[in-house]
Structure formats: C-alpha cells, structure tokens
Amino acid sequence: WDDWPIAVSVLSTVIMMILTYSITDGIVFGVIFYCICMIGARRAREVSPVMYILAVIFILYLIVILGSVSTWVPPVDPGTAL
C-alpha cells in the first residue's frame, strides 16, 4: 500500500471486476487506471510503452463497446405504439 499508483490500479481492477461481472473488463480498467496513476505520480517513464499502447487500445475498445450499447434501440411494433 506504500506505492499508491499500484494500489489504486489494483483496487480499481478488483472493484470493476465485481461491478461489471467480467474479469476482462476489470483488467481493462486496471491497465487504464495504472497508466493514468503513473502519469499523475510523475512516474510515466517507469511504465512500458506496451502498457500505454494497451491502454489506448482498451480505451478505444470501451468507446466502441459503450457506443454500440448506448445507441441500440429496441424495435417498436407500430401496432403497439401509443
């Protein structure tokens, strides 16, 4: 718990796994939070470039997934519309 960027990313990973019912989504949020926390702690050079690339890919993944979910509208039968 002495290294707060790692503690925050681990805690966010566990919380998001519980909230999303998905290990994959929890790891996605953990990688993103790890990169953000390390930048915030001014320790960005300690993070591998691969982690930054993964964070960008995961952010794009979340945008695509959340964008497709939020724009989906169930079909309405014209006969049952008010």
Rounded to two decimals, the pTM is 0.75
Among 38, 49, 28, CA closest to 6: 38
Contact between 54 and 28 under an 8 Å Cβ cutoff? The reply is no
pLDDT tens profile 38-81: 999 898 899 999 999 999 999 998 888 776 665 555 566 666 65
Cα torsion 30, 33, 9, 12 to 10°: value is -70
User: Which residue is it, tokens 């960005």?
Assistant: 44
Both tokens of 37, joined, read: 């926390």
pLDDT tens profile 9-39: 899 899 989 988 888 888 999 999 999 999 9
3-state secondary structure of 70: helix
User: Which residue is it, tokens 């519980």?
Assistant: 18
